[in-house]
Structure 1
């Protein structure tokens, strides 16, 4: 009897200790290392290239592989590293120097010179820490990006708070980007360009207003706020606001502008620019939006997105997007989507050969013009929560394939975007 009582007492003490350990236990923010591999292929075509003053080929192809690695440092901290390489071939940028190819210079024909191809590289590292109760998340990030005419350094952070049994989430984030141009001016504006080496027609003094930019810095400061709320078992919504201030060289140095009050100068089939794009050295942007999810049943979800954007350059825009994920069992999801976008033009936009040489600011970049756009998408995702397929100590969590077709209804411009992604989890 005494032994029985002793064993019972030991069992009770053990249970109490186990219960205490269970109370103090906290789930890791990230159980194991995750690796995301993504590759995208982008092509576009159009006839309003900004490099040639809003008139010319916009053919471009780009392939961009990227890798993202999220590493749990302990129960509370995560380190994430994101690296992307983007290699593109651009008929538009090739005409920065249209005279270095093997055919007659023409805005609608790509030059085969050195500016036809380039590579962009970006690297971002971020660190996040979650509190013991998982109601506070603090994060910080640093980034670097570089291509042939542009270098960018960035840093920032965010603070996330969860309330109301994690049904409410508020996030405040801030980022700063300090960028530097290495301008690749159109060939006719460069020192050493000699008009007399070519058979030309028109005005000899084709660029009376031209001068190189003195300051080559571009700085961006952004502040964002988001509030997410679970309204019911079937509805979740979030409100988003972003405010951005930019200063410095906001013009793109290799984009030509043509004046309507100056005689044209031609070499072969190419018109020499009268100046490059000139835009104000400051800009403020404000965007507010809503993202909501409506769970119809276990197989159907409706996701909606709306954003209103405005800036002090005169652009106002509206974005609408709807996505309909359809689940087939536990492992498969098909998600068609549609996006509509419309914007007004900037105060400084003018079409090819219509701008006045007396204006202070001007651009013929159709990204800053008035237009409407549609995007149609279809994606497929395979998800395996058990990670049954293994590769070298990593289990395959998901495969994602997506295709989008984009068109501007008010301009002759279209694009195709394809992407393939894999997510692996360390055993």
Structure 2
């Protein structure tokens, strides 16, 4: 069953939370009116409006076993509201809706009757588009001397095939006259999948297919038994996944140090443990040692992706920011990643903000990434049926990628421009172009506007 989100209901829920927060703000301000003056962690309520447009294309869709269109378009609006509850406490609410159209996910059921099924052609079926929604609430508290901070968060997100609940907390300490900062954090995510399989592998219904089933023009009219009847020799090696849950546990450590008047360094370590259903149920697999079966122009699946039910990840990173002068800054980053699935990766990036005027900054950026393949990866129609685990998802393949970016930022700390009671603090416009050496490319445009509530 598809889970449909209601953006209107989501926004009503968000504004209800914001109303409660505003009441808390008023109460906290009254309580502190007679007290001593203390610089607030956040002076005024801040509202961020973000809008991202993302598109991608490629020829190695995991839904069709590592061969087929990866075309996708996504529009994602986000609102972030940070509310100072008093001098020390801040409540932040982040609500995000992502509406996408995906040619590859449409081929979960490519037999919609409108045209011959083909892995490189999008189906017009129900799974071609959907919506993802996410709401995160976080609370932070700072000590009077601003040398200690703790925070906690709760989140919920949902899409057509899963629901996720998350919670976490963190602690930050500042030492050495605030020149040294140490942070610890931990998060837990509890996910539940809906087991949606490729149409040709779905369990048969109670009744035998009738004459209309052979037309394959409605995803509710047929199941795996239909294909076994109409495609000679089709005999998939398929059993359903035993569970629907997936849990993720993460812990992170960060250390920041001001090394000189122009140089700041930061190192981090992140550890993630996942268990449960880590395979995607609708990713097809084709075996080289089994006879191929086709209906129309579509290769019928031999099985679905099978991966271990646990995964441990380690990421070690470091940043160096160098202030060349009052106009130019160099921001560099490196990360090493490894996991027990056999993937090792390296990420290196540089960003160069250039302050053109007091209010305008441009920032070109470049990021390089490469990784080894997971132990369980093989391309289209290359796995063997004797293997225990297998995937043809090219996100788990060996590849290198380049990401080129350019951004423009406008900042007015005095918020001289206003829209009603909202003072305009900043505007950011960014563009990124991403290219893999595995015939995959993507681009993203993002716009962010920050307001301060007077």
* RMSD of equivalent CA atoms: 1.3
- Structure 2 SS opposite 1:317: strand
Partner of 1:338: 366
Pick aligned residue for 2:416 from 388, 405, 412: 388
Note if contact 1:94-1:114 (Cα within 8 Å) is conserved in structure 2. yes
2:132 is matched with 120
Q: Which is strand-richer, 1 or 2?
A: 1
TM-score between both structures, scaled by the size of structure 1: 0.92
Contact 2:202 2:224 in 1 (8 A): no
The 1-side partners of 2:415 and 2:114 are apart by 53
Q: 1:288 to 1:197 in 2, by over 3 A?
A: closer
Q: Are the counterparts in 1 of residues 52 and 77 from structure 2 also a CA contact under 8 Å?
A: yes
Matched-pair contact (CA < 8 Å) for 1:102–1:112: yes
Report how far residue 201 of structure 1 moved. Answer: 5.0
Gaps (5+ residues) in structure 2?
Answer: 1-35, 205-222
Please say if residues 88 and 143 of structure 2, whose CA atoms lie closer than 8 Å, have aligned partners that are also in contact: yes
Unaligned runs of at least 5 residues, structure 1: 1-23
Q: Cα 1:111–1:132, aligned 2, differ >3 Å: closer, same or farther?
A: same
Tell me, what secondary structure is at the counterpart of 1:252?
A: coil
Cα deviation 1:291-321 (Å, max 9, x = unaligned)? 1210000000000010000000000000001
2:200 match: secondary structure: helix
Is structure 2 residue 168 aligned with structure 1 residue 156? yes
1:100 aligns with 2:112: yes
Secondary structure at the aligned position of 1:291 is classed as strand
Q: CA deviation at 1:194?
A: 5.1
Which string of whole-angstrom CA distances, capped at 9 and with x for unpartnered residues, describes residues 141-180 of structure 1?
0000000001000000100000000000000000000000
Following superposition, the deviation at residue 191 of structure 1 comes to: 2.2
Equivalence for 1:138:
150
Question: Which residue of structure 2 aligns with residue 80 of structure 1?
Answer: 92
d(CA) in 1 for partners of 2:185 and 2:38?
Answer: 26
* Contact 2:50-2:447 within 8 A present in 1 as well: yes
The match for 2:257 is: 229
- What SS is found at the alignment partner of 2:319? strand
Change (3 A) 1:150 1:418: same
Q: Count the aligned residue pairs.
A: 402
CA-to-partner distance for each residue in 1:309-347, whole Å, 9 max, x for gaps?
A: 000000000000100000012100000000000000000
Cα deviation, 1:45-95, whole Å, max 9, x if unaligned, reads 000000000000000000000000000000000000000000000000000
Contact 1:241 1:289 in 2 (8 A): yes
Equivalence for 1:4: none
**Contact 2:307–2:376 (8 Å) recurs in 1:** yes
Per the alignment, residue 47 of structure 1 pairs with 59
Q: Secondary structure at the match of 1:215?
A: coil
Answer yes or no: is 1:204 the counterpart of 2:234: yes
Q: Deviations over 1:206-254 (max 9, x none)?
A: x1x3111111100000000000001111001110100000100000001
The answer (yes or no) to whether the contact 2:99–2:131 under 8 Å persists in 1 is yes
